[in-house]
Chains A and B, each alone.
Chain A
Amino acid sequence: MENLLNIFVKSIFIDNMIFAYFLGMCSYLAVSKKYKTAAGLGAAVIFVLAITVPLNWLAYNYLLKEGALTWISADFAGIDLEVLKFIVFIAIVAAFVQLIEMVIEKFSPSLYNALGIFLPLIAVNCSILGAALFLPTREYNLAEATTFGIGSGVGWFLAVVSLAAIREKMAYSDVPKPLRGLGITFIIVGLMAFGFMSFAGFKLPF
């Protein structure tokens, strides 16, 4: 339990998807103009990460890893399908996003109105595929992987919402013309990343 809490906090603050790895930057910059859309996409990212990371964990550990197929037959112990991990991960993410979209549209129109337009964007959001690609390098079990997924999503949400809040305020400031829009946003993100670096030495007491 303590271990899970540690992974959770770590993936939000220290290994923040945006500020430590710059994953999902394209949609991060595109939706952070307005607070409301930012919160919508952020929520969708948490949702999709919380489900696709465990799914990809299962795919990796029971299908792709060397010797992962032994649960079918002991003869398969020597098979290593890791080459296929990119295709399998992205197929799972894309298919799953499509599936969620249809399910939400059917059962909860209000949630669909809030998240619906963002879901197709998410299939190509690097943070989703990135989280899946981190799995082979970190030896998590299923519970830890799920926690890592949710934590990364919350970290992304936090980053996008705070940038959107800053950018809304920025509308009133006098920025040099060529720097307006993208340029100043990058500089703000850089400064925010600096702030988040101060969490690097931070460790939970257990």
Chain B
Amino acid sequence: MSTEVIEKVEVKKDNEALFSKKRKSLVSNPMDSDNPITIQVLGICSALAVTIALEGTLIMAFAVMFVIVMANVVISTLRNTIPNRIRIIVQLVVVATLVATVDQVLRAVAYEQSKALSVFVGLIITNCIVMGRLEAFALGNKPWDSMLDGFGNAIGYGWIIIAIAFVRELFGAGKLLGFQVLSKDWYVANGFFATPAAACIILGLIIWVLRARSGYVED
């Protein structure tokens, strides 16, 4: 279900405009019709686990964006020198180094949030979106295209987890980004939305809505 869905996009012309139509679609497709979470089913673990509050989710979305974009650029630059047999290890090392950087920065800048995200920052290493994009795109395309592709997928991933976190924090605690939005006078926080089970069900419903709109049907 995971990798065969991803189609290899080939951009060959050298003298193509920096933001040609094809290149724009590299960014826009993953946001909607080729979304990494709802269509390609990649990177689900963190989508469900970190979305309990909006602030941590935003940090996670940016962390993932940094890792995908940088890893895509690095692997795409090295793509002709990496031996095919050991490419998985090379990719893992590049990604793990980037993630270690992100983790150290988070600890220095936002210690509380990095504690709340616990193991999930580290788990960006095995986030299938990162590996999936490296395998399916960066290994066969030029750095600039890979960078755009990385941005597109990171945004596609980011807006879904932010949507889930929005619903969960709003109804689970009556707050948004830590501010009380629904007054405690008349709104009793619904503990259901704070549970991991709710994340699953909300994501299921988001997928329902998106697929009903796009007409995508799984056999």
CA distance A104 to B89 in the complex (A): 20
Min distance, Cβ A37 to any Cβ of chain B, angstroms: 12
Contact between B197 and A30, CB atoms less than 8 A apart: no
Q: List the A side residues contacting B199 at CB < 8 Å.
A: 22, 190
The reply to whether A179 and B208 form a contact with Cβ atoms under 8 Å apart is yes
User: What chain A residues lie within 8 Å of B209 (beta carbons)?
Assistant: 178
Name the contact of B2 in the complex, choosing from A26, A193, A197 (C-beta under 8 A): A26
Say whether, besides A22-B48, A86-B100, A190-B198, A183 and B122 are in contact (CB < 8 Å): no
Q: How far is the CA of A124 from the CA of B92 in the complex (A)?
A: 9
**What size tier do the contact residues of chain B reach?**
35 or more
A22 to B93, alpha carbons, bound, how many Å? 24
Q: Once bound together, how far apart are the Cα atoms of A125 and B178, in whole Å?
A: 33
Docked CA distance A126–B95 (Å):
14
B217 at the interface (CB under 8 A from A): yes
Q: A134-B119, A182-B38 are in contact. Are A26 and B208 (CB under 8 A)?
A: no
For residue B130, give the distance in angstroms from its CB to the closest CB of chain A. Answer: 9
Any chain A CB within 8 A of the CB of B18?
no
Shortest CB-to-CB span from B70 to chain A, Å, is 15
CA distance A184 to B195 in the complex (A): 19
Which residue, A26, A87, A187, has most C-beta atoms of chain B within 10 A?
A26
Interface residues of B in 1-49 (CB under 8 A from A): 1-2, 38, 41-45, 48-49
Question: What separation, in Å, do the CA atoms of A95 and B92 have in the docked complex?
Answer: 11
Which residue of chain B is the closest to A33 with respect to CB atoms? B1
Chain A residues with CB below 8 A from B219, complex form: 180-181
> Counting CB contacts under 8 A, is B118 at the interface?
yes
* Contacts A129-B125, A183-B207, A191-B197; A178 near B216 (Cβ below 8 A): yes
Which chain A residues lie closer than 8 Å to B1 at the CB level? Answer: 29-30
Query: Interface majority SS on B: helix, strand, loop or mixed?
Result: helix
CB within 8 Å of A: which of B93-118? 93, 96-97, 99-100, 103-104, 118
Question: Could you tell me if B43 and A26 are in contact, using CB atoms closer than 8 angstroms?
Answer: yes
- Nearest residue, chain B, Cβ from A17: B45
B200's nearest neighbour on chain A, judged by CB, is A190
In the bound complex, residues from chain A placing their C-beta under 8 Å from that of B43 are: 26
**If the complex has contacts A19-B196, A29-B1, are A123 and B88 also in contact, measured as CB distance less than 8 A?**
yes
Contact indicator B126/A137 (Cβ below 8 Å): no
A166 in the interface, Cβ–Cβ < 8 Å?
no
Which residues in B have their C-beta under 8 angstroms from that of A83?
A: 100, 104
Residue A67 lies at the interface, judged by CB distance under 8 Å to chain B:
no
Give chain A's interface secondary structure class. helix
Interface string of B202-219 (1 = CB under 8 A from A): 011101110110011111
User: Which residues of A sit under 8 angstroms from B205, Cβ to Cβ?
Assistant: 183, 187
B69 CB within 8 Å of chain A: no
Task: Tell me, yes or no, whether A133 is within 8 Å of chain B by CB.
Answer: yes
State A133–B97 Cα separation when bound (angstroms).
Answer: 16
A20 close to B (CB within 8 Å): yes
Name the one of B45, B96, B204 contacting A22, with C-beta atoms under 8 angstroms: B45
Indicate if B201 sits at the interface (CB-CB under 8 A). yes
Residue positions of B touching A, CB distance < 8 A? 1-2, 38, 41-45, 48-49, 88-89, 92-93, 96-97, 99-100, 103-104, 118-119, 122-123, 125-128, 131, 195-201, 203-205, 207-209, 211-212, 215-219
Kindly list the 5 A-B residue pairs having the minimum CB-CB distance in the complex, ordered from nearest. Answer: A181-B218, A190-B200, A186-B204, A190-B201, A178-B211
Residues in chain A within 8 A of chain B (CB atoms)? 19-26, 29-30, 83-87, 90-91, 94-95, 120, 123-126, 128-130, 133-134, 137, 176-187, 189-191, 193-194, 197
What are 20 of the A-B contact pairs (CB < 8 Å)? A22-B200, A23-B123, A25-B44, A26-B2, A30-B2, A86-B122, A90-B92, A94-B92, A120-B88, A124-B131, A129-B125, A177-B217, A178-B207, A178-B216, A179-B207, A179-B211, A180-B217, A183-B207, A189-B200, A193-B197
Question: With A22-B45, A86-B125 given, can you name 13 additional A-B contacts, CB distance below 8 Å?
Answer: A22-B199, A23-B49, A24-B45, A26-B2, A29-B1, A86-B99, A91-B96, A133-B123, A178-B212, A182-B218, A187-B200, A190-B201, A197-B195
